[in-house]
Amino acid sequence: RLDLRQKGLSLESYQQAGYYLLHRALQSPEAQINGIALVLDFRGFGWSLFRAVGMSDFRRGVAMLQDCFPARLAVIYILHQPRWLGMLFRMLRPLLSSDSLQQ
């Protein structure tokens, strides 16, 4: 179970690790041509952890994927989707560019 306080890591640290993994995936020519498939597993990411995530964390995550990441996200798969994920998307929607929303 993910517990940021117990491990002493910030959400920003996890975002940076994820960005590094995406960067490594781009070293594959197939990923550069076809795009990246992103798998998000929300198992153990309960409502209490969601409430601990700040708007700055959301902004940073969106900016990393939308403005800093040079590859195309071909598809996003969501595993163990919590009920509050729709609310999260509604919060993030204003942060997305019109191009990202169309994709």
- Compute the distance between CA of residue 18 and CA of residue 98 in angstroms, rounded to an integer: 24
State the residue range of the domain holding 52.
4-102
CATH of the domain at 93: 3.40.525.10
What's the Cα-to-Cα distance from 61 to each of 28, 30, 33, 34, 65, rounded to whole Å?
Answer: 23, 24, 23, 22, 6
- What mean pLDDT comes out for the span 69-98? 81
CB neighbour list of residue 64: distance below 8 Å, 6 or more residues apart: 15, 19
What's the Cα-to-Cα distance from 97 to each of 1, 10, 82, 88, 103, rounded to whole Å?
Answer: 33, 26, 25, 16, 10
The number of domains in the chain is 1
| Tens digits of residue pLDDT in 10-69 | 778 888 888 888 888 888 889 888 988 888 888 877 777 777 778 888 888 878 777 777
- Compute the distance between CA of residue 63 and CA of residue 73 in angstroms, rounded to an integer: 14
